[in-house]
Structure 1
Amino acid sequence: MSEPTDGHDNATKAFVAHRNLLFTVAYEMLGSAADAEDVLQETWLLWAGVDLDMVREQRAYLVRITTRQALKRLRTLGRRKESYVGPWLPEPLLTAPDVAEDVELADSVSMAMLLVMETLTPTERAVFVLREVFDLEYGEIAEAVGKSPVAVRQIAHRARAHVAARRPRGAVSAAETRGALEAFQRAVETGDLQRLLDVLAPDVVLLADGGGVKLAALEPIVGAGQVADLLSKIADTRTLRLAHVNGHPAMIVRLDGDIDTVMAVRVDDGLITGLYAVRNPEKLSHMERETILHR
């Protein structure tokens, strides 16, 4: 077997050095860890064929490839979502606890924020992620999305205003979210309906994503009474554990040792205002592998 060339070594080193950035860009654009990994594979294949002597800035070039591949996939995913059974939620992503210390990054990958970004067009989403999350220059973003810098400025302004009108009201500390979740966990494990009502906001909304494969409500469940009644019945045969998911404390629900549901929450003023329950097995396979690796 022949030794790899210096060019191949350099390409590999550059790709590995920027891999976390590229994965986060793809994940924030797509809301899917599996699709983000596929985009990284496509990026590597394209990058491996590039003459590095012709590349001025390797990071910018890699971001450009990743963004363009993610945009192609995002348009395909949009067509799939039109026929999706029940609510669509992003694929949960296991994150390290220290991600929460980077408030901007933690906010940008939260379930609530990813759902807001779902309401942007593909190009708006790409521009928003590259500008607002990673603070790339307009010229760099323009090359990535195939628009002029002037057009990118306009898109960024429009996307920023759109997100600002819909994003969660204020930053909530990880400690506050964890406190609400711990109270929620105790209430669910004991089946104490009143204790559950005490941690849920009166207008709490539960979204459940079963993808037509697992049993899940096909419409949002609204109101503390209805949500508490449903949740008070789930702990009989399941175990609940706290974990860091999408930059924030969340709940992993296991049944017979396997992940059954990943439940992220949105907390406002100490109460849970949003519950995001991902049950679709296809969206849990990546996390199942990750939790096995970290045991």
Structure 2
Amino acid sequence: MYSIPVLLVIFLFAHSLIVFPVYILSLISAAYMYTQTFFSAFVAEVAIVLFAGYEFQSDLIWISIDVSISTAIILTMMFDKRLKSYTHDNDSGRGKIKKKEIYRDYLQSVVGVLILALLFIEGVENSRIVITVSVLVLYAVGNYFYLHRKNLIGDFLWSFEREDTPLGIGSIWFASGILLAFAIINSLSVLYIVLFVLVIGDSAATIVGVNVKTWPLFFNKRKSVGGFLALFALSAVFGFFVIGYLGILYALVGAIVESATQYPLDDNYIIPLALTALSVAI
């Protein structure tokens, strides 16, 4: 029942009827994630997204699509017992194999640089379309190779995953957070900072936290002072370069949110959510 009020809020925000089919199909596909049934709803969702995007060629359409997909997936991840248990397994496995955590964050940094480069070259509107389509492709790829693991590509993708965790569960939180940021933020400079904190700052926090022994944070013993300072320092320098002193505020909020977020939430979504809310507030 929680999904109906949220759908109405999204409609009031987007003022587009496209939110209804996209949101509902996103809920269904998310609920059947990692099963064959997923693809039935997903194919219908992709068909509607591509048709609406091509037919209307409006930035508002893509904004409506992004916020619908992001919100529907995250609500399902938070309230569906099966998916919630997967998130718990992902959180429990965090940091157990240090070498794998570092590889994951190097990969996240590479993805982040590519997204920042795309944003720099294409601007917000064109990048929004590319990101939306890319997220849908990766969503399908993750589900396919969860079901068809024993092959060269599957083995490679699974090599980045934490133990006892379904393929790409953390990436789904990550992609949903990026979709939300692109849906709501129209400022190129602010998007730069939000993405930098999420993909570069967050990765730096893990890499430093794993390799440099410092005190644990008093409000979250699983996170360290070193990781907090690494995220804040890098993001503050970048943020100041982009928008001045206000960029330091974004860095501070990002560092606090990354350090404080715990199960059942995931910092890959909460960081862009918090920074997007900050951008709206100021």
Larger radius of gyration: 1
User: Common fold, TM-score beyond 0.5?
Assistant: no
TM-score with structure 1 setting the length: 0.28
